[in-house]
Amino acid sequence: MIKVEGLSKRYARTTAVDNVSFEVKKGQIVGFLGPNGAGKTTTMRVLTCFLPPSSGSANVAGFDVVEQPMEVKKRIGYLPETPPLYPEMEVEEYLTFVAKLKGLPSGDIKRRVGEVSERCAVADVSQKLISKLSKGYRQRVGLAQAIIHNPDVLILDEPTSGLDPKQILDTRSLIKSLAGDHTIILSTHILPEVEQVCEHVIIINKGKVVATDTVHNLTNRLRGAEAVAVEVEGRNDQIDKGTVQQRMEQVPGVSRVVYKESRDSRHLYEVESLQGRSIRPELARSIVESGWNLNELRSVSLSLEEVFLSLTSSDEQPAMVGSAN
């Protein structure tokens, strides 16, 4: 649905986007992350035909952003960080105006305005002036204008910026409900939002894509070795936490065992493997054969925040991590 190859954008001596390539499949919600000045907004402006690229190509819904910009614009909905609203208009009046601008057939406009008003939960304020709405409602109206022509692709820039906790939850739920019907690129600084809403992540730093994959795959690739949380309990009496730790350290492939805490007769540890080794089967067998109860054995992943900081905090440009597939 979106294919970017070798995309670059230069301003005089500054390169804002440097040889960026990625692909987004139909119906996916993809988080587009990066620190301020990384090139996210510039990339989105190229995809929405607001800016021409200096080199490379971008294809949206089967059309080239340079050669066929009007066809691209027909198939995208764009919500910038500050929604493009007219405060002197009423909500229904504004959405009707946008529908006409986007070329909807006159016979479909009223029905479509009603549908997006209901879906974006602004039907109850349809007769109010936009200037009188709260920020949360204005954000919903902005999302309604972005989807009113039922576009193939939605590009959302900080859609929950400045909202209160309930408004954030409502907006996230709405965005998730749009997946499948629309391909969505979501730019945000709220990393838990990406974990909750997005299927894939693209991380850009200093104008270059440094990672593109699922959150789960990124955390595993960056950790490089398996890490598991383990809870061990004695069957009939108390067991010494040091004895348990020593026994797990003897399991082949284990590189480190870190004691976390104890709860009555239960002891919690984090166990790390050597590079490329899977330790869970042998670890479980060792604990059970030692006569202890294995209450928990689960993988421990890096958080998306740790992934993000790892890829964007270094002075040197990190190597590309993951794949778009």
Q: Give this prediction's pTM.
A: 0.72
CATH number (3.40.50.720, 3.40.630.10, 3.40.50.300, 3.20.20.140) of 2-220 reads: 3.40.50.300
34-45 pLDDT tens trace: 888 889 989 999
Q: Is the pLDDT of residue 219 over 70?
A: no
* Range with the largest mean pLDDT of 77-81, 122-126, 220-224: 122-126
Q: Cβ–Cβ contacts within 10 Å for residue 164, how many?
A: 12
Q: Quick one: which of 3, 5, 7 has its CA closest to 55?
A: 7
- 218 vs 168, which has greater pLDDT? 168
Residues 225-299: name the CATH superfamily. MTH889-like domain (3.30.70.1340)
Q: Cβ–Cβ contacts within 10 Å for residue 263, how many?
A: 10
- 221 vs 86, which has greater pLDDT? 86
Q: Quick one: which of 26, 24, 67, 20 has its CA closest to 42?
A: 20
pLDDT for 325: 44
DSSP state of 317: P
Provide the residue ranges of all domains of the chain, joining segments of one domain with +: 2-220, 225-299
Q: Is the pLDDT of residue 322 over 60?
A: no
Q: Is the pLDDT of residue 164 over 90?
A: no
Over residues 252-277, mean pLDDT: 88
**Domains 2-220 and 225-299 agree in fold:** no
Q: Is the pLDDT of residue 285 over 80?
A: yes
pLDDT category, 324, cuts 50, 70, 90?
very low
Q: 72-110 burial string, b = 16+ CB within 10 Å, else e?
A: bbebbbbbbeebebeeebbbbbbbbebbeebebeeeebe
pLDDT category, 18, cuts 50, 70, 90?
very high
Phi, psi of 319 (to 5 degrees): -70, 155
